[in-house]
Chains A and B, each alone.
Chain A
């Protein structure tokens, strides 16, 4: 019979480099540093690792990472497509390989000079005839060149249909900046913003303003997954993986899924939510905190609705009044998120989720965090996971 993945595996190690605007070193070095930190954090040696999962768009080959840190052989390697859509897809890969006995311990990583090197905000370029490149050609001649632009289109329609203002977006931006203000590893450590700052900031792509958009940074983040059995003997309390899922929904494009009947929600999030809840046997009421992928403030709204924390069209009101703050119903992105800590394609969020379960976040809520949600990028094939205490 088929197996269930619930509580079969755990995240037992996390590692990050510093987050900066100019790392001054290669992406391979960043990758090697964070991978080694994660392995050590788990109390393991490189020789204990026999699987690696990474991103297709990482410039660093997994075998280069293996050589650099001294992982002698790998029985499992894979790459996940669609960048920010797949950090939790990496976790799923690890769980699949470990729970079937294909390998024992998997490292997932992402390292990027996202600020000093190639920047996503500079827009997509042309090139060879692939399905992907053909697709960009429907947007670039008109000047819709960046993720901000693509995402703003759904945001505008959401605000129109539900009569939403920027108030909900401002709440998210200001709350997360407050978290970052307290996080020494955040780009925006020690620089909070007010609601006034938010509204005075210039538009990037209307209706999205400067502080609706994440920052671009250099840095690396990695994690180690092993079986729950082995996790018991490791130095830190394990973050048990209760569910991990991927999803592509009908008529999916990469951030430009504009041709569906309704573009005010992202059905791929509904799909991963459904699977994560089914795998874990949990529901939104069981979740005590969340790391919600926040390349832009508005996609946090879409996810809160898809994951069932509030009804469709209500998230822009639900978030107001401190819901996502440290004492709120759902402390969210307590590291500052992609908006204010740094942008390492969601793997920095994964590390923060593990810290919240360990009780070691710089913004640790007073309440017990038993179960939490971690999600991935918006508008593209996406992924999510639910993790909890042993």
Chain B
């Protein structure tokens, strides 16, 4: 029955090959990273740690799978040696305890810098928060300071699921929740922070490319968790951001209708045959 070992061999080879494809095909890999070259480069640190840990665990995986396959191949059922009793090998046990422990201690120490940069209050950029983000079941309520620069005043701009900030600027938000635990997750900026009832938590991030990205909830928060998705717009310049904010504020202060009704899109029926019912 030694051929069973080939099944383990093929599985291990396929898993390693999948990562090999992933390294060359972006659609198999992590989401786009837009926090590489900005002032904070959080994304660069996070991806570096990810790759390092992937390489370490990958080498261990290949080694253990090789040992497993070799053992299955070398000692099949037909081999049938006579069993003998032995107490074990203290030297071997010490070796296989110390090596993983050393690796874990290394990772624990090596990641301290990244953790400090991302989570320690001492690393928080010295800029006023761009917005206060309050999670609730099931949306992100976002409140910008408005012209007076202070949050909590009548001129604040309120949006829902719509976060805006500026390219290459260290950006801080204050994160709150009105009900249960949520998690503020910007995959493209490699930042994730739980929102905890009763706490106001500063979160900082940046982006080196303008564009639109996802804001998602990364903590199962109830039946509508999947609906808790926002759009992040990174503006090219501060001026673009301010233009957007003043337009949004103008709409928020609307007291008369200019035009009434109207539709956005049109549909036309019947282009291709519907093949079957």
Q: Do A and B come from one complex?
A: no
> A residues engaging B (CB < 8 A)?
none
> B residues engaging A (CB < 8 A)?
none
